[in-house]
Amino acid sequence: MVFNFDQLIQSLPAGTTFVEYIIKMLIMFAIGGILIYLAIKKDYEPALLLPIGFGAILTNIPLTSIVSNPSNGDTGIFGVLYDATIANELLPVLIFIAVGAMIDFGPLFQTPSMIFFGAAAQFGIFATMMVALLLGFTLKEAGAIGVIGAADGPTTIFVGSAFGLDKGIMGPLTVAAYSYMSLVPIIQPPVIKALTTKNERLIRMDFKQREVSRLTRIIFPIIVTVIAGIIAPESVALIGALMFGNLIRECGVLARLSETAQTTLANLVTILLGITIGTTMTAQDFLTKNTLLIMLLGLVAFIFDTAGGVLFAKFLNLFRKEKINPMVGAAGISAFPMSARVIQKMAKDEDPHNFILMQSVAANVSGQLGSVVAGSMILVLIGRIVGM
Amino acid sequence: MDTELLFHGLEVTVLGLAGVFAALIAFYILIIVLGKIPVENKEQEN
């Protein structure tokens, strides 16, 4: 089919002039271009931002039928992919198998108390949900927006899909979740510095290295799945996938599957997830006031989560003899292992001989668990209120 | 602002945070208990 100008005019959304349509298309091309630039030039989550950026360009080409045919409304190939992989929560669950296979819970067994930062740093999810409600979002939308703060892209998509949010919300939600995940090194340090004194940032923490038995590593993912399932049954899909991946890693007899989950599966799912989400970013759905608000609220959520972890550490220090470096609390978000690395770098900048990486990693893997449970609690509680 | 919606939000916040802490406290106890399983000599050699 060649380009048909008359057909383009007929397919314009109601109330949109040709000039408005072209301007919006160019803005979306620019947004796609910026995402690709950030991926390639700045190395911000390139595996996701590049496919999302390209998808955003693809879907805004006039008269394209990749999502749906403008003349007869038939579902296009990316529309089919969206329905078959994101709307039914398939890809977020699959990516959790890959993430689980990548996680080493060893540091958490060395410093178990760090697990509480994985809970405290979820404060931002709920605080942001309240702000979103005040701004006029529905309970379902507000809950999904809050999850951005956990720095957990798959959980954000999972919650949004489970709530059946439309593509106009899912696009900005996903872009915000993954953009902020990649901006951890930029967002977290100023928040941490604003909430801590130099002396607090200089606190050193003891770390006693000890072996963790293989039996422990095998039993842990199984029992965690059962406990999480009892507390929040809706979490079983996500935490079950996460822990299944971890069991493959730790069982010691499935090295090839573990390797496949960490590389091939993760790569395949990432490619499909990125480009499919990108194609939901049509100008009509994306260039709205809600998109701007969601991006802003995502930032607020991220700041609240970081602050929640840091302030909880400071609170614990009121009662502890052995003080915790409050920066570790900020690693309780789910962006693994980026957040732990950022905290260690900050500690090293203050004192080149301060080593708090293991405690930060322990808090960071706890954040993975905490964000999945928090997302599941939102699903359970909001689901009950709205009668899902 | 719909007051009922705000109350629902507060309900989700309080119960949600309680649920997250309850789950992670349970995981903490699990880690402490499982951490007591001794490492076998064979594993140490590996």
Q: What is the spatial distance between Cα A138 and Cα A331, in angstroms, rounded to a whole number?
A: 30
Q: Are B27 and A221 in contact (CB under 8 A)?
A: no
Q: Are A117 and A331 in contact (CB under 8 A)?
A: yes
Tokens 């979103």 locate to A132
- Per the structure, the complete domain to which residue A139 belongs is given by 5-386
Q: Considering only CB atoms, which chain B residues are within 8 Å of A137?
A: none
Q: What is the spatial distance between Cα A47 and Cα B3, in angstroms, rounded to a whole number?
A: 42
Q: Considering only CB atoms, which chain B residues are within 8 Å of A127?
A: 13
Chain B (4-43) residues lying within 8 Å, Cβ to Cβ, of chain A:
5-6, 8-13, 15-17, 19-24, 26-28, 30-32, 34-35, 37-40, 43
Q: Please tell me the predicted confidence (pLDDT) of residue A195.
A: 95
The amino acid occupying position A71 is S
Tell the burial category of A264 from Cβ atoms under 10 Å away from its Cβ (0-12, 13-18, 19+): exposed
Tell the burial category of A63 from Cβ atoms under 10 Å away from its Cβ (0-12, 13-18, 19+): middle
Q: Do A213 and B10 touch (CB under 8 A)?
A: no
Tokens 């999850």 locate to A147
User: What would the pLDDT profile of A166-208 be if each residue is shown by its tens digit?
Assistant: 878 888 888 788 777 777 888 899 999 999 999 999 999 988 7
Q: Are A153 and A181 in contact (CB under 8 A)?
A: yes
Q: pTM for this one? A: 0.84
Q: Please tell me the predicted confidence (pLDDT) of residue B11.
A: 94
Q: Do B43 and A109 touch (CB under 8 A)?
A: no
Beta carbons within 8 Å of A378's beta carbon, 6+ residues apart: A125, A129, A143, A144, A146, A147, A159, B12, B16
Q: Do B16 and A378 touch (CB under 8 A)?
A: yes
HSE, side-chain direction, 13 A CA sphere, residue A39: 19
Q: Do A211 and B44 touch (CB under 8 A)?
A: yes
Q: How far apart are the first and last CA of chain A?
A: 44
Please tell me the total count of domains within chain A. 1
User: What would the pLDDT profile of A44-90 be if each residue is shown by its tens digit?
Assistant: 778 888 998 999 999 999 888 888 887 777 888 999 998 898 888 88
Predicted confidence pLDDT, tens digits, chain A (388 residues): 566 777 777 777 777 788 888 999 999 999 999 999 988 998 877 888 899 899 999 999 988 888 888 777 788 899 999 889 888 888 889 999 999 999 888 888 888 999 999 998 899 899 999 999 999 999 999 999 999 877 778 888 889 988 989 878 888 888 788 777 777 888 899 999 999 999 999 999 988 777 888 999 999 999 999 988 888 787 788 889 999 999 999 998 999 999 999 999 999 999 998 899 889 888 888 888 888 899 888 888 889 999 999 999 999 999 988 899 999 999 988 887 888 989 999 999 999 999 999 999 999 999 988 998 999 999 999 999 987 6
Q: Do A134 and B1 touch (CB under 8 A)?
A: yes
Residue of A378, A376, A374 lying closest to A118 (CA atoms)? A374
Residue of A77, A29, A33, A118 lying closest to A312 (CA atoms)? A118
Q: What is the spatial distance between Cα A241 and Cα A269, in angstroms, rounded to a whole number?
A: 14
Rounded mean pLDDT for each run of 10 residues along chain B, 46 residues in total: 86 93 92 86 58
CA distance A14 to chain B (A): 30
The amino acid occupying position A300 is V
User: What would the pLDDT profile of A311-335 be if each residue is shown by its tens digit?
Assistant: 999 999 999 888 999 999 999 888 8
ipTM of the complex: 0.88
Structure tokens that stand for A353 in this block: 């001989």
